[in-house]
Amino acid sequence: MQESPLERLIQEPGPGREMADRDTLDRLQKRLGAAAEQARLLDVGYTVVETPVGKLLLAATHAGLVRVAFDCEDHDAVLALLAERISPRILAAPDRLQAAAAQITEYFDGTRRTFDLPLDLRLTAGFRRSVVEHLRDIGYGSTATYSAVAALAGSPGAVRAVGTACALNPLPVVVPCHRVVRSDGSTGGYRGGPAAKRLLLNLEAAA
């Protein structure tokens, strides 16, 4: 009996075989994630969204969005850390992240200025958490200096600590640490890199 093209693709090595394997694995992961979600066995679900600043990994617990990660952070390393710090029961679950993915897309399309999502801030604590919570007070298209955020967080002299809190913000884009700039007007550092920070600031300035 003559082999079908699909059978040959499965048996033969090469790029086509690798792509078929990846597609099959993606489908299986999604089915497994959906089944785990339905059975309440999934502690952390994630998906990846294409954006103008590259692929963003979105991860959520039952409490809310817990992590947004840039490509440059190495998504596999981020998932491994989430498994270690939150739970090893972590799978691709795009349904759980549907609202977050849609709002991220709307933001980059210029049709959304604020995010309306439940957030899980367990990955930050103490003064850093206070800073992250105050970042949401910086409005779309506006900026604040590191020193101004330090004052808002109740520690006017903790400018460097604010910089560290912004650099370690677990929810960049959604919690807008990109709106924090240096007192001389330069953009300063950013978890997603300086180009991503400039893009986000320019996007909001053009709206």
Domain boundaries along the sequence of the chain: 5-109, 126-205
- Give yes or no for residue 13 having a pLDDT over 80: no
* Residue of 177, 180, 196, 203 marked catalytic: 177
Bigger pLDDT: 13 vs 135: 135
**In this predicted structure, what is the pLDDT of residue 9?**
38
Domain 126-205 has CATH 1.10.10.10: yes
Q: How do beta strands 65-69 and 54-60 pair?
A: antiparallel
Query: Which residue type is seen at 14?
Result: G
Torsion angle, alpha carbons of 139, 192, 47, 49, to 10:
70
**In this predicted structure, what is the pLDDT of residue 58?**
98
**In this predicted structure, what is the pLDDT of residue 185?**
84
Whether 72 sits among the annotated catalytic residues: the reply is: no
Q: Find the mean pLDDT for residues 98-126.
A: 97
pTM, two decimals, is 0.82
135-178 residue pLDDT tens: 999 999 999 999 999 998 889 999 999 999 999 999 999 999 99
DSSP H stretches of helix in 39-175: 75-85, 98-109, 126-135, 146-152, 159-167
- Give yes or no for residue 12 having a pLDDT over 90: no
- Give yes or no for residue 27 having a pLDDT over 80: no
* β-pair partners for 50: 55
Task: Find the length of the chain.
Answer: 207
**In this predicted structure, what is the pLDDT of residue 206?**
87
Q: And the tokens for 176?
A: 């807008």
Assign 6 a pLDDT band (cuts: 50, 70, 90): very low
Assign 74 a pLDDT band (cuts: 50, 70, 90): very high
Q: How far is CA 113 from CA 35, 110, 201, in A?
A: 34, 7, 12
